[in-house]
Amino acid sequence: MQQHAWRASLLRFDANGRAVFERDGLLVTAPGPQGWRVIVAAGDHAALAPQYADVPTTDLRPCILAPGFVDLHVHYPQLDVIGSPAEGLLPWLEHYTFPAESRFADPAHAAAVAPVFLDELARNGVTTALVFASSHPASVEALFTEARRRGLRLITGKCLQDRHSPDGVRDATEQSLIDTEALIARWHGVDRLGYAITPRFAPSCSEAQLRGAGEIAARHPGVWIQSHVAENLDEIRWARELFPDSRSYLAIYEDHGLMRERAVYAHCIHFDADDRALMRQRRTAAAVCPTSNLFLGSGFFDFAAAEDAGFAHGLASDVGGGTSFSPFRTLLAAYEVGREGQTKPGLSLPASRLWWLHTAGAAAALGLEGVVGNLAPGCDADVLVLDPVATPLLARRTAQAQSLEELLMALIVLGDDRVVRRTLFAGGPGPEAGPSSPR
Ligand SMILES: [Zn+2]
C-alpha cells in the first residue's frame, strides 16, 4: 500500500452539505482497488497523525486542501468561441458556435483541441466535468481518449441535432442514434469515464430523434442525459411552437422519456412551479450557468425557488457561452445572480453553500455523491492544493478573515487560477511530486 499524506488546512463537507474546516488537517490517500487513488482518511492532524505516523507526509501549510471542482455543463468544441459577442443565444449559436463546432468533423482537429480543453480544466481546478462534445463521433472519441490517458472522471456525449442546424453540424436521425449506442458500448464505464445522451436542445431535435434518445436512456439507466432548457425567452417560444402538445419547454423532455436520475439540464431559468415540481419528482438536476446567463443576457436562476421546490442543482461554467473556466468566476457570478432581486427574490448565498454547489452538491446532482466532490474516505482522490496567499491582496484579505465564510468569500471574490497550486487527479500522477501546478 503506497499511502501518502498531505498536511495542510482541509476543506470538506459533512453529510448535510455543511462545510467542515480543519486549520491543521491531514489527508491520506492510497491506490484503490479499481486502479486509481482514493482517500483513506481526512481530518484533524492531531487526531489522525498517530495512526499514520509511518506514512510519508508532505507539509503543504499554509495551503488548503479542497475537493476538486465539478463542472456540470461545459462545451469542449466551444473553446475557441469563448468571449464572442452576440445579440443573444440564437444569433450566438448561428454566427459563432455552429461554425466552430463544424470543424470537429475532422478527427485531427478534435484531437488537437482535446488536450488544450483538459489543460484548462486542470489549471482551474476542475476534476470532473459533464461535457458537450460536438455532433461528430470523432469529437467524443478524441475527448474520451485524452481524458482516459490523464485518468480523469469525465462524462461526455455526441450532440444530437437533426434539424434547425446548418450543414456541417446537423446529423441524421437514424445514424445519430446508432452512433450514440455504439459510443455507449465503447466508452461508458471504461475506467472513470461515463457517457451522456446529449440532445442539444429540443428545437434542434426532431420528434423521432428525441423519442429515440429516450428509448436509449431507458435501456441504459446508468448512462447520463444532458441538454439545455428554459435559457432564453425567444428559445422558449420557439420550443413551444415546435412541440405544441407539451405543457412547457421542460415537459417536452418529460414527454420523450428524458427526465430521470442522472439527467442534467443546463440553465432552468424561466421555470414555473409545475416545472420545478417535475424536476424534483423525476430527480432531475439543473446545471446553473451564471457567467453564461449574464454574458448572453438570458436571465437569473432562482436559487430560492429551486431550494423551496427541492430539486438538485449545481454550478457550471458553460464555456463558451460562459466567460471563464475558473470556478472562482462561476462562484462569484452565482453569488451575484443570487443577489439579483428585481426579477425574483434576491438572497445572499453563503460562500460555503456556493462552494458546495460546485463540489459535493454538483457531484450529488450527477449521482456521484461519495465518489467525487468531497474529501471523505472512499472518495476518489481528486484534490486541489489551494494557495490562500497567491496574490498580495488575497494574502492581506485571507489573513484578516474571522471565519470560514469570510475566508471562502475572499477566495471566491479574489481568487483565480493562481490560487490553484496543484490539481491531483485520482487516476493521474501520484501526490509524491509535491505542489507544483501543471501550468
Ligand atoms: Zn450549454
* Ligand 1 center from residue 432 Cα (angstroms): 37
Alpha helices (H) in 53-130, listed in sequence order: 89-92, 98-102, 107-123
- In the predicted structure, residue 437 carries a pLDDT above the cut 50: no
What integer pLDDT is reported at residue 438 of this predicted model?
41
Cis? peptide before 214, omega within 30° of 0: no
* Mean pLDDT across the chain: 96
- For residues 128-153, average pLDDT: 97
pLDDT band at 434 (very low <50, low <70, confident <90, very high): low
Give the alpha-carbon dihedral of 345, 346, 348, 354, to 10 degrees: 80
Angle value at C-alpha 116, between 152 and 179, nearest 5 degrees: 65
* Ligand 1 center from residue 133 Cα (angstroms): 11
* Ligand 1 center from residue 318 Cα (angstroms): 5
Give 347-396 as a 3 state SS string.
CCCCHHHHHHHCCHHHHHHCCCCCCCCCCCCCCECCEEEECCCCCHHHHH
* Ligand 1 center from residue 4 Cα (angstroms): 38
Task: State CA 392 to chain mean position distance.
Answer: 30
Beta strands in 14-103 (DSSP E): 19-31, 37-44, 57-67, 69-75
pLDDT tens-digit map of 159-178: 999 999 999 999 999 999 99
* Ligand 1 center from residue 269 Cα (angstroms): 13
Q: Name the percent of the chain lying above pLDDT 90.
A: 95
> Which whole-number Å values give the CA distances from 414 to 43, 394, 395, 407, 408, in the listed order?
27, 6, 10, 11, 10
* Ligand 1 center from residue 192 Cα (angstroms): 23
* Ligand 1 center from residue 109 Cα (angstroms): 21
* Ligand 1 center from residue 291 Cα (angstroms): 11
pLDDT tens-digit map of 186-195: 999 999 999 9
Distance of alpha carbon 42 from alpha carbon 247, whole angstroms: 48
Q: Which residues lie across from 423 on neighbouring strands?
A: 384
* Ligand 1 center from residue 228 Cα (angstroms): 6
Torsions phi, psi of 202, nearest 5? Answer: -50, -45
* Ligand 1 center from residue 189 Cα (angstroms): 24
* Ligand 1 center from residue 323 Cα (angstroms): 12
What integer pLDDT is reported at residue 190 of this predicted model?
97
Task: State CA 103 to chain mean position distance.
Answer: 24
CB distance 431 to 6 below 8 Å: yes
Q: Name the percent of the chain lying above pLDDT 70.
A: 98
* Ligand 1 center from residue 81 Cα (angstroms): 12
CB distance 160 to 198 below 8 Å: yes
This prediction's pTM: 0.97
Give the alpha-carbon dihedral of 410, 413, 418, 422, to 10 degrees: 70
* Ligand 1 center from residue 430 Cα (angstroms): 33
* Ligand 1 center from residue 305 Cα (angstroms): 22
* Ligand 1 center from residue 188 Cα (angstroms): 22
What integer pLDDT is reported at residue 397 of this predicted model?
97
Please tell me the chain's helix, strand, coil percentages from 3-state DSSP, rounded to the nearest 5: 40, 20, 35
* Ligand 1 center from residue 334 Cα (angstroms): 16
Q: Which residue has the cell 415540481?
A: 277
Task: State CA 408 to chain mean position distance.
Answer: 20
* Ligand 1 center from residue 73 Cα (angstroms): 6
What integer pLDDT is reported at residue 90 of this predicted model?
86
